[in-house]
Amino acid sequence: MPKTGVLIETENGGVKAINYGLLTAAMGNKENEVIAFITQNDAAEAKDDLAAYGVSKVVQLKVGSGDINSSPDLCARALAAAVEEFELDHIAGLATAPGRDIFGRLGAILDVPLVSDIQSIDYGAETAVKSHFSGKTMATVKLEGSPVVFTVRPNAVDPVENPVDAETAEFNADVADGPKVTVKEVKASQQDKMELTEAPVIITGGRPIGAPDNYKMLDECAEVLGAAVGASRASVDAGFAPHSMQVGQTGKTVSPNLYIACGVSGAVQHFAGMKTSKVIVAINNDKDAPIFEKCDYGIIGDMFEVVPVLTEVLKASEEK
Amino acid sequence: MQVYVCAKHVPDTAANIKIKGENDYDTTGLKFVVNPYDEYGLEEAVRLVEKAGKGEVVIVTVGPAQAANTMRSALAMGAARGILVKSDDKFLDSRTAARALKAAIEKDGSPDMIFTGKTSVDTEGSQTPYRVAREFDFPVANEISALEIQDGKATAEREIGGGAREVLEMSTPCVIGATKGLNEPRYPKFPDIMKAKKKEIKEFELADLGIDAPASDGAPVKLEPVPERSGAKIMQGGSVRESVEELVKTLKDSKVL
Amino acid sequence: MKTNARVVVIGGGCIGVSIAYHLAKYGWTDVALIEKHELTSGSTWMAAGNCSFHHGDYYGSAINKKSIEIYKNLEKETGYSPGWHTTASIRTADNQDRMDELGYTYSMHKCLGLEVDYVTPEEMAKLHPLMNTEGLIGGLYWPDDGDVDPNGITQAFASGAKKLGVEFNTHTLVNSLTRKDNDEWIVHTDKGDITCEYVVNAAGLWSPEVAKMAGIEIPSIPIEHTHILFESIGAVSERETSLPLVRDGDRSIYIRQEMDSLILGMYERNAKQWYKDGVPWDYAQTELEPDIDNIAENIEHGIYRFPIIGETGFKHVTAGPITYTPDANPLVGPAYPLKNYFLACGYSFGITQAGGIGHYVAGWIMEGEPELDLWTVDSRRFGSFANWAYNHEKIPETYAKLYDKIYPNEWREAARPSRTSPIYEHQKKANAAFGDYLGWECPNWFAPAGTEPKEVPTWKHSNAFEHVDRECKHVMNHAGLLDLTRFAKTKITGPGAEEWLNYLTCQKIPAKDGRVALTPVLDDQGRFKTDMTVTRVRENEYFLVTASVGKRHDQHLLLNELPSDGSVEMEDLTYKMGCFVIVGPDSRNVLEKVCYGDVSKEAMTFASSREIYVGRVKCMINRINYVGELGYEIFHPIEQQLPLFESLMEAGREFKLEMTGMYAMESMRLEKGFLGWKAEQTVHHNPLETNIDWTVKWNKDFRGKAALEKIREEGVKQKLVALVIDTDGAEALGYNAIFNNGEYVGMTSAGGYGHRIEKSIALGYVTPDLAAPGTELDVNILGENKKAKVETMPLYDPDNSRMKA
């Protein structure tokens, strides 16, 4: 049975839920034996959670007396050593910021192909599907190399429970050379307003916002969402927002996970600046607004009514 | 300061991709640009050299002959020269590309810094900086949105999720994969654009650099369009609250929130 | 999607959507708009959004004026703001010819009641602190010009249209059109068929393809056009008021403010045609790769005029395809020779025109006639000569010269010659300086041996002046031969012909064989549609002649009027018959010498028509002409034109017969007060206002009679007058403003120098109280008021004795 190694991400002592989809991808049609590697926690603590999703072995990855988390190089090299040790056919991780980094290093260390950010995998056909051209096309790519190295887009694969018996183990990788890159510190998140082009969520106000002050309503929602606030060209043109907030072809191009357009009609120029957003929501009281033809979800309503309620509902669900 | 910037010739993100056959795309009339993430690296490189008061930024590209045109925009932003390693393979694999980049750079000079972008907007491989670093045996950090270089040491920041930022240290020369936030790339002025036409672009074939063309075609097995959104799912709630609640639930269920 | 509609508009750019909106606004809500992608996806979304009053001609400017009025009201009407900014605009001049052009424009715009004024370079520098005014000698300033958001106007119209019930079908592709026997259309789309009464082709880049679906070709090609948005400029963002849009035509650039920066646009010398053989259907919303090298010269011009942009980064270079036609005016109106198929395409300045043309085309469709004279944008001004090859040779020149000075006497070279008379070589040998009229090469004037027949374009008297003078006087004293082969000629036959023609025109159709009549054709409101001469050849056979440039317009009119019972038939004789006009006191002598048959005064009275052998060629000779001398129109089989010409010239040698050009003809017709189609006879005029009110025969029924009866009762609101003007060097033209003690009272329809009377003259319309001979007025020529006096018409040969000799 082919063996698939998986690098697990943990947080505050627990296995992050996003790992389960990764594990489902790792196991295929129960074709593969899945071995999980964990660097932060105690493998034993995570065992039951991981076993529920098909992991038969949970390995504590170590680098002797060193701190494996003090350098991404160390972690990647340990993982490379584990590949050999456990004779892995495949090794997978999450396409999160940490995961992308470790696996980028891993692919280079092993000098094998890396397929990053896949959304599905077919072990039989030896292919995986991922985005090409910023979400405009889907590419089915070959899985090659030994081991096959890939990362999975978080939440792209629905987790499917597959309880198995699991055991724990420890692996001490021999990584003799000093790492090239060290983690000096980790800074907590900043409180300042998020930069539009980097924000994972954006809420934009169009011309119906009517006045600069009315953006406060969006600011409040943005705070709960962890979003940045944008403006349409028409709104900037009318003097309701500064140019730095303009999203669109002649403004900023953004690609957040979630884009909420309030009172935005959906001009081609505006769309060119945000169409690669993963999910687009429109709030507009004109049911014929073109944006409703081009977004994923919509609410037909006055944004001055809808947005405050949205803020409220989001706050309430956070507190839950 | 000898800084090399690996810049990829990619289709403009606003352009429509016309799929040709099973796994190819039509480049006629398609607008090509420098990979937007590479531009952050380029801007950083130019600033470094400006600050140092001496040195040069060299653009290195692996791509088709037409890439020379795209490289001109990079030259207009302040790079001094370019090196083009010619390859018509639209999906050239990262390992070959990295080897070609390394060979081209090595043939040219001794890098004090190498910049790339965090990923390319066409094949979205997210691995070039790592592979180039491996070829040179340099330290590497990717998705860098803040950078300081002082006395042979590079301090780089990257986001690791939830707004938290990791601060990494390494010695130079190193490879930095740039991303948004690192800087604001300058818009080239007309005199710079015209000057760029006269800047040198050295061209090489893969064979000239001793690189074997990859055994297999890097093209995907299949390339399919993602259909454009064809109409929103409108929340049907009777009241504003009901619609909003439905929306929030939908977004949570699809793991967007 | 509907299966039936009154009107189907094909194309969802600003033009199509504006038309759909206005149809619904004025009461026709059963409209379906079909767009193959999404609204604005063709050229509209990339447009720069400039919105000025000025268009090359009076009517284009009138359309723009209407547009701006509409845009300013749009938010109130539809709830969507089109993003209008009033910024004012400036046109600069760095040479006298350009100043002259601006002067002409000034006068024309006064006719439209627009605010416009001269500005000095110093004033321009104050109005636009970023402009380098070096080299400029002056300019014009429009305080009310501005810019608008292309998407804003389209969404506003769309939103308004939808609310009124217009059905919008996006992502729907029209595959073909079928014309039904009852003149309805079936529009076949990939989502189903719609049967409709009217089709409007507003398909922009794809309009030639949609035209082909109806079996016609239209002269529109896409050319790449570029504008550059600069990064934020402090000096711009700090301002409290907007900067005016500036057009420096001499440098072929424009520059306007866009938010906190500037946009530079240009018309480069090397026009890059795009998709010469038709635009692919799947093209949408895609910018083209800019070619900075191709526009470098213009960028440098821009930097010269606005130095700051030389130090500012290019934020976004937008290159996109825009349609252009041979004269850069769009293609609008009923498409020849179809029924119920309207064109609204070929737009190069679509954003500016969309509002107005939506209003006027909607009205045209609904009423059957346009409210505003739209001839300058009427698609039928181009004939079959404007074929694919012609367009590809001509239009790039038009693009490159888009901002060049438009002289009244410039005859551009590209794609010429297209059509020639059989005697072309003779005309060349006689040193003709040619102009092209509906694609026909025709001598404007003749240069003496040893002088190059090349006219230097100017707004003042050109180097042709003295030669035209000689030609006119030669005609006055001897005889001249005009080549009017290009006349539009139509044969009308059938048992229903007489009755049919009698209804079409207010004039009485000749009841006897061999008579010619001047027959205006009016619309229901009594306004001029066209003017013809009708010859009754024999019973049930008539020969119609109309202005050459109006061929398609006029034959379309006739075609649409043909009764369905087949009692009237029409045949186009334009290319089968040539026409020479022999004029001058010796013209009868020439004919007597060369003709078999009686051409005496008694045998051929004025307005008679005879079949006569001129040499060996059987001709139809009509004793009328457009210059007011003794003269004869000689219609002949075109394949016999050369022998005919040779025998005429041979016979005429004794009488000093010479070829005469169009400039001489125009001078002479002005002196006679003979009306010109689309000069004195537009849809804004009726016969009662003119000196041909005698053509209105009240004792019969005709189209427009009821309206004319009402006008007769209420009195006309304007009157045609002939003006003699005290001017030196620059003559009046059409669309010059006429003032009475500073108050605007009318405009000229045409002007020039009357060589036989040796006076500067103009025809025009003023309020009836000022039409009495002796009335003193001012005519604004090239921006300056010149004293003028109304004089009795005709100015030359007042009792017509020469004509009726």
Q: Where are the domains of chain B?
A: 2-209, 232-257
Q: Read off the amino acid at residue A206.
A: G
Indicate whether A225 and A140 sit together in one domain: no
Cβ contact C659:C443 at 8 Å: yes
pLDDT for C49 beyond 90: no
> In this predicted model, what pLDDT tens digit does every residue of C155-184 receive, in sequence order?
999 999 999 999 999 999 999 999 999 999
Indicate whether C56 and C88 sit together in one domain: yes
Residue C639, domain CATH = 3.30.1360.120
**CATH (residue range B2-209):** 3.40.50.620
> In this predicted model, what pLDDT tens digit does every residue of C509-556 receive, in sequence order?
999 999 999 999 999 999 999 999 999 999 999 999 999 999 999 999
Indicate whether A105 and A41 sit together in one domain: yes
- Helix (H) or strand (E) segment spanning residue C433: strand C432-437
- CA–CA distance, C317 with B194 (Å, rounded to integer): 15
Q: Least CA distance to A273: which residue of chain B?
A: B14
- Residue A124 domain-assigned? yes
Q: Between chains, do A293 and B231 touch, taking CB under 8 Å as contact?
A: yes
- Residue A284 domain-assigned? yes
Indicate whether A95 and A142 sit together in one domain: yes
Indicate whether C541 and C596 sit together in one domain: no
Neighbouring subunits of B (3+ Cβ pairs under 8 A): A, C
> In this predicted model, what pLDDT tens digit does every residue of C614-649 receive, in sequence order?
999 999 999 999 999 999 999 999 999 999 999 999
Please report which residue ranges of chain B form alpha helices under DSSP H: 36-52, 67-76, 94-108, 128-136, 190-196, 240-253
Q: What is the pLDDT of residue A66?
A: 86
Place B100 in a pLDDT band, splitting at 50, 70 and 90: very high
Phi, psi of C230 (to 5 degrees): -90, 165
Indicate whether C605 and C738 sit together in one domain: no
- Helix (H) or strand (E) segment spanning residue C152: helix C150-163
Q: Does A268 touch chain B (CB under 8 A)?
A: no
Q: Between chains, do C296 and B18 touch, taking CB under 8 Å as contact?
A: no
C33, C80, C263, best to mutate vs chain A, most A CBs in 10 Å: C80
Residues C576-595 have a mean pLDDT of 97
pLDDT for A42 beyond 90: no
CB contacts < 8 Å between A and B, how many?
A: 223
Indicate whether A203 and A291 sit together in one domain: yes
Q: What residues in A contact B158, CB-CB < 8 Å?
A: 97, 101
Q: Between chains, do A278 and B256 touch, taking CB under 8 Å as contact?
A: yes
Q: What residues in A contact C168, CB-CB < 8 Å?
A: 288
- Structural Rg of chain A based on CA atoms: 23
Residues A16-31 have a mean pLDDT of 91
ipTM score of complex: 0.94
Indicate whether A131 and A55 sit together in one domain: yes
Mean pLDDT, chain C, integer: 96
Indicate whether C540 and C600 sit together in one domain: no
Q: Between chains, do B189 and C314 touch, taking CB under 8 Å as contact?
A: yes
Q: What is the pLDDT of residue A243?
A: 87
Indicate whether A101 and A165 sit together in one domain: yes
Residues A117-131 have a mean pLDDT of 95
Indicate whether A129 and A255 sit together in one domain: no
> In this predicted model, what pLDDT tens digit does every residue of A84-105 receive, in sequence order?
999 999 999 999 999 999 999 9
pLDDT for C470 beyond 80: yes
Residue A127, domain CATH = 3.40.50.620
Residues C141-161 have a mean pLDDT of 95
Mean pLDDT, chain A, integer: 92
> In this predicted model, what pLDDT tens digit does every residue of C740-769 receive, in sequence order?
999 999 999 999 999 999 999 999 999 999
Q: Between chains, do B12 and C287 touch, taking CB under 8 Å as contact?
A: yes
Bond preceding residue C337 cis, omega within 30 of 0: yes
A268, A284, A285, A300, best to mutate vs chain C, most C CBs in 10 Å: A268
Q: Does B163 touch chain A (CB under 8 A)?
A: yes
Residues B94-98 have a mean pLDDT of 96
pLDDT for C335 beyond 70: yes
Q: What is the pLDDT of residue C76?
A: 95
Q: Between chains, do C312 and B189 touch, taking CB under 8 Å as contact?
A: yes
Q: Least CA distance to A254: which residue of chain B?
A: B180
- Residue C62 domain-assigned? yes
- Residue A67 domain-assigned? yes
* Count of domains forming chain C: 4
Q: What residues in A contact B160, CB-CB < 8 Å?
A: 97-98, 186
Q: What is the pLDDT of residue C147?
A: 92
Complete DSSP assignment for C775-792: -EEEEEETTEEEEEEEEP
Q: Read off the amino acid at residue C473.
A: K
> In this predicted model, what pLDDT tens digit does every residue of C414-467 receive, in sequence order?
999 999 999 999 999 999 999 999 999 999 999 999 999 999 999 999 999 999
Q: Which of A175-189, A248-262, B84-98 has the lowest mean pLDDT?
A: A175-189
> In this predicted model, what pLDDT tens digit does every residue of C708-752 receive, in sequence order?
999 999 999 999 999 999 999 899 999 999 999 999 999 999 999
Q: Least CA distance to A271: which residue of chain C?
A: C285
Residues B6-18 have a mean pLDDT of 92
The residues near C270 (Cβ < 8 Å, ≥ 6 apart) are: C294, C396, C400
Q: What is the pLDDT of residue A192?
A: 64
Residue C772, domain CATH = 2.40.30.110
- Which of C540, C572, C604 is the last residue in one of the domains? C572
- C740 SS3 class: strand
Q: How many CB atoms lie within 10 A of CB C311?
A: 12
C764, β-bridge pairs = C721, C748
**What is the DSSP secondary structure assignment for residue A246, as one 8-state letter?**
B
A265, A275, A302, best to mutate vs chain C, most C CBs in 10 Å: A265
> In this predicted model, what pLDDT tens digit does every residue of C195-218 receive, in sequence order?
999 999 999 999 999 999 999 999
Q: What is the pLDDT of residue B238?
A: 87
- CA–CA distance, C327 with C220 (Å, rounded to integer): 10
Indicate whether A230 and A262 sit together in one domain: yes
Indicate whether A155 and A292 sit together in one domain: no
pLDDT for A41 beyond 80: no
Indicate whether C528 and C623 sit together in one domain: no
**What is the DSSP secondary structure assignment for residue C448, as one 8-state letter?**
P
> In this predicted model, what pLDDT tens digit does every residue of C365-393 receive, in sequence order?
999 999 999 999 999 999 999 999 999 99
pLDDT for A320 beyond 70: no
- A50 SS3 class: helix
- Residue A40 domain-assigned? yes
Indicate whether C635 and C752 sit together in one domain: no
Q: Between chains, do B190 and C314 touch, taking CB under 8 Å as contact?
A: yes
The residues near B239 (Cβ < 8 Å, ≥ 6 apart) are: none
pLDDT for C360 beyond 70: yes
Q: What is the pLDDT of residue C425?
A: 98
* Count of domains forming chain A: 2
- CA–CA distance, A293 with A289 (Å, rounded to integer): 8
- CA–CA distance, C734 with C93 (Å, rounded to integer): 22
Q: Between chains, do B165 and A186 touch, taking CB under 8 Å as contact?
A: yes
Complete DSSP assignment for C462-506: -TTHHHHHHHHHHHHHS-EEEE-TT-EEEEEESTTHHHHHHHHBS
- Which of C621, C642, C675 is the last residue in one of the domains? C675
Indicate whether C338 and C479 sit together in one domain: no
Cβ burial of A224 (10 Å; 0-12, 13-18, 19+) is middle
% of chain A residues with pLDDT over 70:
98
Cβ contact A120:A111 at 8 Å: no
Q: Does C296 touch chain B (CB under 8 A)?
A: yes
Indicate whether C463 and C496 sit together in one domain: no
- Which of C621, C649, C675 is the last residue in one of the domains? C675
Indicate whether C621 and C752 sit together in one domain: no
Q: What residues in A contact C234, CB-CB < 8 Å?
A: none
Q: Between chains, do A288 and C158 touch, taking CB under 8 Å as contact?
A: yes
Which of B14, B18, B190 lies nearest to residue C287, judging by beta carbons?
B14
- CA–CA distance, C632 with C783 (Å, rounded to integer): 40
- The domain of C247 spans 4-376
pLDDT for C98 beyond 80: yes
Q: How many CB atoms lie within 10 A of CB C613?
A: 12
- Residue C383 domain-assigned? no
The residues near B87 (Cβ < 8 Å, ≥ 6 apart) are: B62, B63, B64, B100, B206, B213
Mean pLDDT, chain B, integer: 94
- Residue C224 domain-assigned? yes
Q: What residues in C contact B230, CB-CB < 8 Å?
A: 171
Nearest to C726 by CA among C753, C699, C747: C753
C441, β-bridge pairs = C436
Q: Between chains, do A137 and B19 touch, taking CB under 8 Å as contact?
A: yes
Count the residues in chain B: 257
Q: What residues in C contact A236, CB-CB < 8 Å?
A: 259
Indicate whether A225 and A304 sit together in one domain: yes
Q: Read off the amino acid at residue A184.
A: K
Residue A265, domain CATH = 3.40.50.1220
Question: Which residues 228-267 of chain A have a CB within 8 Å of chain B?
Answer: 249, 253, 257-258
- CA–CA distance, C23 with C40 (Å, rounded to integer): 19
List the Cα angle C105/C108/C109 in 5-degree steps. 85
**What is the DSSP secondary structure assignment for residue C455, as one 8-state letter?**
P
Kind of pairing between the strands at B233-234 and A297-300 = parallel
Residues C378-413 as b/e (b if ≥16 CB within 10 A, e otherwise) read: bbbbbbebbeeebbbebbbbbbbbbbbbbbebebee
Q: What residues in A contact C319, CB-CB < 8 Å?
A: none
> In this predicted model, what pLDDT tens digit does every residue of C289-332 receive, in sequence order?
899 999 999 999 999 999 999 999 999 999 999 999 999 999 99
Indicate whether A102 and A31 sit together in one domain: yes
Q: Between chains, do A134 and B162 touch, taking CB under 8 Å as contact?
A: no
C792: left (phi over 0), alpha (psi -120 to 50) or beta: beta
- Residue C736 domain-assigned? yes
Indicate whether C556 and C585 sit together in one domain: no
Indicate whether C106 and C143 sit together in one domain: yes
Place C56 in a pLDDT band, splitting at 50, 70 and 90: confident
- Residue C676: alpha-carbon gap to chain centroid: 13
- The domain of A111 spans 3-172
Indicate whether A165 and A304 sit together in one domain: no
- CA–CA distance, C396 with C699 (Å, rounded to integer): 54
Which of C285, C293, C310 lies nearest to residue B189, judging by beta carbons?
C310
- Residue C705 domain-assigned? no
Q: Does A290 touch chain B (CB under 8 A)?
A: no
- CA–CA distance, A167 with A51 (Å, rounded to integer): 9
Q: How many CB atoms lie within 10 A of CB A38?
A: 24
Q: What distance, in Å, lies between the first and last C-alpha atoms of chain B?
A: 45
**Torsion over CA of A292, A297, A300 and A306, rounded to 10 degrees?**
-140
Phi, psi of C747 (to 5 degrees): -140, 160
Residues A240-252 have a mean pLDDT of 90
% of chain C residues with pLDDT over 70:
100
- Which of A172, A207, A230 is the last residue in one of the domains? A172
Q: Does A244 touch chain C (CB under 8 A)?
A: no
> In this predicted model, what pLDDT tens digit does every residue of A189-224 receive, in sequence order?
766 667 788 788 999 999 999 999 999 999 999 999
Indicate whether C203 and C340 sit together in one domain: yes
Nearest to A81 by CA among A56, A106, A111: A106
Q: How far is CA C515 from CA B55, C488, C576, C801, in A?
A: 93, 19, 22, 19
